[in-house]
Structure 1
C-alpha cells in the first residue's frame, strides 16, 4: 500500500490488490494469524478489532499504524483474481495493486507492478487463465521488496520513479509522432519498456526486478 499511496499522491490512477485467498496479518503467535476476507472487511474494521484485542502488541509490531494508513487510502483490500477487468470503475478504491481519487475508470491498466515474485506468478497465471478476452497488452513487472516498513518506503520511491520514467518515454513517443505528423501508436512505448526498466534497474540495484508481457 505504500506504493499505492505515493503513486496516488503523484496523481497516477492506481488500483491495488492482494493475490492470496485471504488477508493474513500477524497475530499473537505464528500459528494464530488474524485472517480477514478480501473485498468485504474494511481496513477500519481490522484496525478497530486489533486495537480492541491488544493495542500494545499491534502498536509494537506496526500493524495499527499500517492499518491506520491503509484506511485513509482505500476502504477495503481487494483480491486480484476477483477483479472484473474491463468493467469501468466509477469510484476510486482508495497500487496491482482503486486509487488516487478517480481510480482507473476504464477498468484496465497498462502496467501491473507486484512486490513479491509469488504475486507476480499469481498475476501471470490468472491472466493466462482468463484467455485474453480484451486482447490488450499489459506489462507485468515485479519489484522485490522486503515486507517491512522501511523497505516499503524505499520500494515506493523506486516504483514512483519507474512510473515517471515510463510516463516520460510515452510523452517522448507522443511528441515524436506529432512532430512527424503521424498518429501515435502505443506499440512505440511498449517497445521501450525493457530499455526504460534496464536504466531504472541500474540506479535501483537494491530492488531486483522481473518483467513479462501478457494480455487482458
Structure 2
C-alpha cells in the first residue's frame, strides 16, 4: 500500500526538508511543512536571524543570503541547505495553511513541541472524513548532520510502515523495534481528518 507522508518541523526548513529530499529520492509520496509564524534561518548572531514569510521562494532566500554574506552562509551550511530545498520544491509551506485537506496517512515531526502543535491542530479541525492519520515524533537535533541521520531513520520507518499488512495493528511493534535498534524514543498517536 502506498501512503502519503508529511514532514513537519518548526520554521527553519532543515530537518523536514532533509527528510523530504531523501524520501522523494526513494520514490515516496511526500510533502513538507513548517509550523512557525515565519521561516527563520540563522543570521550573523542569535539575535539577528534571517526571517522570511512562508511562500518566499528558496531561490529568493539563496540570492538574499549570497548578497548579505556568502562566506558566512556557505560556512554554516545555509546556502547548501537552501540549494537542496530549491531542488525539492519552490518555497516553504506552513502546515496550518496547507495541510488541511486530509490527504496524509502519516505525519512525521522532529521535535516534541511541533508534534504537540500538529496533534492539537488536527484535534481542533472538523473530523469530516473520519480518516485516520498516524503522527510520529522522531526527536532530531537541528543541525545538518543530525538532520541527515533523522532523514535516514524516517525513511526506514516509512519502509516498515509500507511493508506492514496493517499499520494500525503493527505500529506498536514497528516503534518498539525501532527504539531497541536505535536507542531513541518515539512519540506517536493517531488522529483523524
TM-score, structure 2 length as denominator? 0.88
> 2:78 pairs with 49, 63, 86, which one?
63
Q: Measure, in 2, the Cα distance between the counterparts of 1:15 and 1:212.
A: 20
The higher relative CO (CA closer than 8 Å, separation ≥ 6) is in 2
Aligned partner of 1:159 in structure 2 is 154
Greater Rg, structure 1 or structure 2? 1
Higher strand share: 2
> 1:36 Cα shift?
0.5
Q: After the TM superposition, which segments of 4 or more aligned residues of structure 1 sit over 6 Å from their partners?
A: none
Q: In the TM superposition, what are the counterparts of 1:21-170 in structure 2 within 5 Å? A: 21-38=37-54, 40-86=55-101, 108-169=103-164
The superposition leaves residues 55-114 of structure 1 with CA deviations (integer Å, 9 ceiling, x where unpaired) of 01111111111101111111100000002533xxxxxxxxxxxxxxxxxxxx61111000
Find the residue that maps to 1:59 and give its secondary structure: helix
1:20 and 2:36 correspond: yes
Describe how 1:4-19 pairs up with structure 2 within 5 A.
4-19=20-35
Q: SS where residue 16 of structure 1 aligns?
A: strand
TM-score, structure 1 as length reference: 0.79
1:210 and 2:190 matched: no
Deviates more, 1:77-86 or 1:14-23: 77-86
Distance 1:117 1:143 in 2: 8
Using the alignment, how far apart are the partners of 1:80 and 1:192 within structure 2?
27
Q: Aligned partners of 2:182, 2:188: CA distance in 1, in Å? A: 15
How far, CA to CA, are the matches of 1:17 and 1:162 in structure 2? 19
Distance, in Å, in 1 between the alignment partners of 2:178 and 2:158 is 10
Deviation of residue 197 (structure 1)?
1.4
C-alpha distance in 1, partners of 2:185/2:66? 35
Q: Which runs of 5+ in 1 are unaligned?
A: 87-106, 174-187
Output the aligned Cα RMSD.
1.2
SS at structure 2 position matched to 1:32: coil
